[in-house]
Amino acid sequence: MNILYDYHLHSDFSGDCETPVELMAERAAALGLRGICFTEHLDLDAPVIENIDFTFDPGLYFRKMQNLKESFQGKLEIRVGAELGMQPHTLAAADEFAARWPFDFVIASQHYVNGQDPYYPSYFEGRDERRCYEEFFEVQYNLMRRLSRWNTLGHMDYIVRYGPAQNADYSFEAYADYIDPILRYLIESGKCLEVNTGGFKYGLGQPNPAADVLARYRELGGELITVGSDAHTPEYLAYDFDRAAALLAQLGFRYYAVFRDGTACMVPLEI
Ligand SMILES: [Zn+2]
Ligand SMILES: [Zn+2]
């Protein structure tokens, strides 16, 4: 194991996840991870498709996390985070939520585009895949600059998981005009770029974002990354972390960030 902290995972506090927090923590300890950060979904006013409520009760969440920390004291470092979904009309409320509660770590993620959900194939029906991807990046660039209380940009090219051809026609080069502003903004504002190994799980052969996007981030001077599996079940914790670590080392990354009380600590990639 080369990466010892998983900083993107869910439990049954997230609307699309059934796994109790204890099972996630037990699996993480069994894998030999040093720490995990729960990052539950807060997608306010999510488009109603399957009637999933992507919000959680923060008071209950922090109480549960306190108990869990006590149970795993000395065995596993447990941190408390959130994954804030970005939509234009919910940014202010999401920021207020993140400010009001003492999260260690906050991921900013775009799951929806103009009120629609690309997770479902119907999103792409009758539409040009390339234009859908461009639109996703345009909206992301617009929204991320209007949200304040976050530490890392989650699964930056998330939409390629779900397109009809997935990443067959996708590359940094092909979308450079859309991706460069996002990477430059992260660097200028001191935010991190997440390396989400869910892309391997989705059969992309790449994390999200893809290796050539990560290479471009390095080229522009980007150094700050966080790493997460986006696991919703215990078996996907730290998914393909060895593969991600090898890729990151090859691209010239030496450290990844973990967050405690909102402050970044750099951890070496142990190769
Ligand atoms: Zn997400
Ligand atoms: Zn997630």
Chain segment 10-38, per-residue pLDDT in tens: 999 999 999 999 999 999 999 999 999 99
- The model's pLDDT over 152-164, given as tens digits with 9 standing for 90+, comes to 999 999 999 999 9
Distance 142 CA to ligand 1 centre (A): 18
> Chunked in runs of 10, what are the mean pLDDT values of the chain (271 residues)?
92 95 98 98 87 92 98 98 97 98 98 93 96 98 98 98 96 98 98 98 96 98 98 97 96 97 94 57
First to last CA, the chain: 9
Residue 123: per-residue pLDDT? 94
Count: domains in the chain = 1
Ligand 2 centroid – CA 193 distance (Å): 14
CA 225/CA 70 separation, integer angstroms: 29
Ligand 2 centroid to residue 56 C-alpha, Å: 14
Predicted confidence at residue 271, as pLDDT, reads 57
* pTM (predicted TM-score): 0.97
- The CA 198 to ligand 2 mean position distance, Å, reads 9
Q: Give the per-residue pLDDT at 73.
A: 97
| Domain harbouring 225, CATH code | 3.20.20.140
* The pLDDT of residue 270: 74
Residues with CB under 5 Å of ion ligand 1 are: 109
Q: What is the domain extent for residue 98?
A: 5-268
The pLDDT assigned to 48 comes to 79
